[in-house]
Amino acid sequence: MDKPTASTPPTSIANVAALLQPIFGARPELWSRFQTFYDSMWTSGQISRRVLEICRLRIASIHDCSAEWSFRTVDVFVSDVELDALRRGDFSAFDHCEQAALHVAEKFPFQHDDIADAEVQAIEAGYGSAAAVALLTAVAFFDVRCRWHLVMSSNVPN
Amino acid sequence: MSTTPRLNPPPNTSADFGSYLGYIGKTAAAFFDLYAEYWQRGVLPPDLKETTRLRNARITDCGY
C-alpha cells in the first residue's frame, strides 16, 4: 500500500472544525452542539473511520469542495492511489463493503432518489444494521458540510 | 416515494424512522440537541424556518 505524501497533509478533527467555525460565529451555541454531534459520528465506533473518510472525500470531490477535500482525518490512512480513485469516482480499488458504502455516497448529493433498496441493503449486509444507519447519517452531513462551505464562502476559484 | 424503511429495525421495535435512530443513540441525542437549539433560538422567525424546511422537503421529495 502506498505511503502518505506531502500532498496529503494530515489534519486533526479540531483543525478541520476551524474551517467551519467562522460560519457559526453569530451562533456559538449552535456551533458547539454541531461539533458535539459531528464528532459523535466519528467517535461512536459503529462504523470504521476509514469508511467515513472515503465517503467524506468522495462527496467533497463530487461537490468540488476544496475546503473539505484539502484535509485528511489524521488517524485514517487513505493511499494516494485511493485518493486519485476517489477523485475519479473509480471504486474498483476498494473492498466489496467499501464499494457498497461509496456507491450510496455517490448518489447522496444529487441523485438521492436513485438510491436503490439493494444498494442500502448491501451496506447493511456488509457492516450490519447499526453501522448502516450510522454511515447513512454521516454521509448526509458530509453533503451538508460541503454545501455550507460552497454557499457561505467566496466563489472566487481556488 | 415510499416511506417503508429499507433496513432491519432494532429488535422489538417497529420499522419507522424513530426506531432506526435507536441504533445511533448517542449521535441521535446530539442531533436533537442541535436541532432544538436551532428551532428554539436565533434571529430567524420560526415561520421562516418552517417555510424553508417544508420547501426543502418538497424539493428532496421527502415524505417525512
Give pLDDT tens digits for A129-143.
999 999 999 999 999
Q: Which stretches of chain B sit within 8 Å of chain A by CB?
A: 1, 6-10, 20-21, 23-24, 26-27, 30-31, 33-34, 37-38, 41-43, 60-61
> What region, left, alpha or beta, does residue B14 occupy, with left being phi > 0 and alpha being psi -120 to 50 degrees?
beta
* A46 touches B23 (CB < 8 A): yes
Chain A closest CA to B20's CA: distance in Å? 7
Residues in chain B: 64
In sign, the C-alpha dihedral spanning B36, B40, B42, B48 is: positive
Average pLDDT over every residue of A47-64: 97
* Predicted pLDDT at A56: 98
Backbone phi, psi, residue A143, to 5°:
-65, -45
User: What's the ipTM?
Assistant: 0.89
Q: What share of chain A is helix, strand, coil (3-state, %, to 5)?
A: 65, 5, 30
Q: Is B30's CB within 8 Å of A40's CB?
A: yes
Question: In DSSP terms, which residues pair with A10 in a beta bridge?
Answer: A72
Grid cell listed for A64: 468540488
* Predicted pLDDT at A7: 41
* Predicted pLDDT at A5: 38
Give pLDDT tens digits for A79-112.
999 999 999 999 999 999 999 999 999 999 999 9
Rounded to whole angstroms, the Cα distance separating A118 from A97 reads: 13
Neighbours of A30 (CB within 10 A): 16
Reply yes or no on whether the pLDDT at A21 is more than 70. yes
Question: In order of start, what are the domains of chain A with their CATH numbers?
Answer: 37-152 (1.20.1290.10)
**Could you give the percent of chain A with pLDDT greater than 90?**
73
Which of A105, A78, A65, A110 is closest to A89 using CA atoms? Answer: A105
Average pLDDT over every residue of A69-80: 92
* Predicted pLDDT at A154: 66
Q: Is B30's CB within 8 Å of A121's CB?
A: no
Give pLDDT tens digits for B18-51.
899 999 999 999 999 999 999 999 889 999 999 9
Reply yes or no on whether the pLDDT at A9 is more than 70. no
Q: Is B61's CB within 8 Å of A117's CB?
A: no
